Amino acid sequence: MTDQPSTHPSGHRATGTGPGRVLVAVYGILALAATARGVYQVSTKLDEAPVAYLLSLAAGVVYLVATFALATDRRRLAWVTVGIEAVGVLVVGTLSVVDLGDFPDQTVWSGFGQGYGYVPLVLPFLGLWWLWSSGRARPDDEAPAASQHLG
């Protein structure tokens, strides 16, 4: 048997296979945590820190969509959402450290994800690396398929 479910005819590896499974699991956990936190904050105390709480909810939605995209090999959507996540954590992280006025309370991306063990800072770069490396055709994957056609 061949490894067809995890390798596409284009030669790229499906994003939700191999090490991508761990990535999808971490994204899923962060998606649930960030979305639950954002929904709670927006629904109970939006008037206290509207920018921070709406950003938390937006981050949760980004994580949800990124999780879906990575799990289902929707590469273009994954590139967009993981890219938004990388920019978001860098911009919000910087702004929350420099100017606390708009961030009187923590967001998922505040302090570069400090409240989540810096996972929000590391995760998008792992995601971008995985999208890049799994999207490249691998010569070792093509060799067994070519030998099967000869035999």
Q: pLDDT tens digits, residue range 37-50?
A: 999 999 999 998 88
Across all residues in the chain, what is the average pLDDT? 84
Contact 66, 125 (CB under 8 A): no
**Cβ count near 10 (within 10 Å):** 7
Which residues does the chain have with pLDDT short of 70? Answer: 1-11, 100-102, 137-151
Domain locations in the chain as residue ranges: 13-150
How high is the pLDDT of residue 149?
A: 45
The verdict on pTM exceeding 0.75 is yes
Instruction: Tell me how far apart the alpha carbons of residues 38 and 73 are, in angstroms, rounded to a whole number.
Output: 26
Q: Which residues lie across from 13 on neighbouring strands? A: 7
